[in-house]
Amino acid sequence: MTLDVLYFAWLRERIGAPRERVETNAATVGALVAELAARDDRHAAALSDLSAVRVAVDQDLADWDTPLAGAREIAFFPPMTGG
């Protein structure tokens, strides 16, 4: 499947782009992270400490175990600091 993968804040800076198209067969968010981290040093650095990374699947907050079946847009970002 084809996913839009978005990055925000320092994840965007480390990856070097706000979004990318990804072709994957990953079944879960966690499997997708493993694939992305294996791509290159930038991805590996951005995704090295997952305790500092949050994820949304189709704009809903999700977990590493969240399945990707039917998903279109995955976003990775640091803990939020709104308000």
Binding site residues, another protein, CB under 8 A: 6, 8-10, 12, 56, 59-61, 75, 77-83
- For the bound state, the minimum distance from the C-beta of residue 38 to another protein, rounded and expressed in Å, comes to 25
Q: Which is nearer to another protein, 13 or 34 (CB)?
A: 13
User: What is d(CA 9, CA 37) in angstroms, rounded to the nearest whole number?
Assistant: 18
- For the bound state, the minimum distance from the C-beta of residue 22 to another protein, rounded and expressed in Å, comes to 18
Token pair of 3 as six digits: 């996913």
Q: Which is nearer to another protein, 11 or 26 (CB)?
A: 11
Looking at residue 65, what DSSP letter applies?
A: T
- For the bound state, the minimum distance from the C-beta of residue 25 to another protein, rounded and expressed in Å, comes to 25
Contacts of 76 (CB under 8 A, 6+ apart): 5, 6, 7, 8, 11, 33, 46, 47, 53, 54, 55
Q: Which is nearer to another protein, 67 or 78 (CB)?
A: 78
